[in-house]
Amino acid sequence: DQQVKQNSPSLSVQEGRISILNCDYTNSMFDYFLWYKKYPAEGPTFLISISSIKDKNEDGRFTVFLNKSAKHLSLHIVPSQPGDSAVYFCAASRSGGYQKVTFGTGTKLQVIP
């Protein structure tokens, strides 16, 4: 049962344009969502998060949007840079105490110079 889904395995974007990565979830108990970036041969690196009490969170070039009614979140990267080329994982968990984080299958972003 894939509770967190990233339906686009890959995405190519021109440098300077916007990258939009999408994620859907099925478990309505999830109330905390994260995006991680992963380069080859490295572990995932935390990028940005959002809690269910918000519908938007920004950090520099990165913005995450949450639509609770649609159980959908997206990550916007503006402007995209070649160094952003990586695999992006969407993840979800519940608040309070010990966290069991559920990851999506990832979207490989390629930013073309």
Partner 1 sequence: DAGVTQSPTHLIKTRGQQVTLRCSPKSGHDTVSWYQQALGQGPQFIFQYYEEEERQRGNFPDRFSGHQFPNYSSELNVNALLLGDSALYLCASSILSGTGFPQPQHFGDGTRLSIL
22 binds partner 1 (CB under 8 A): no
CB of residue 81 to partner 1, shortest distance in Å: 22
Answer yes or no whether residue 51 interacts with partner 1 by CB under 8 A. yes
In the complex, the smallest distance separating the C-beta of residue 77 from partner 1, rounded to whole angstroms, is 18
What type of residue is 7? N
Cβ(33)–Cβ(43) under 8 Å?
no
User: Considering beta carbons, is residue 26 or 45 the nearer one to partner 1?
Assistant: 45
Distance CA 9, CA 53 (A): 29
Q: Which of 43, 60, 83, 113 binds partner 1 (CB under 8 A)?
A: 43
Per CB under 8 A, contacts with partner 1 among 61-90 are 89
Angle 63-66-71 (CA atoms, 0-180°, nearest 5)?
145
Binding site for partner 1 (CB under 8 A): 4, 6, 31-32, 34, 36, 41-46, 49, 51, 89, 91, 93, 95-106
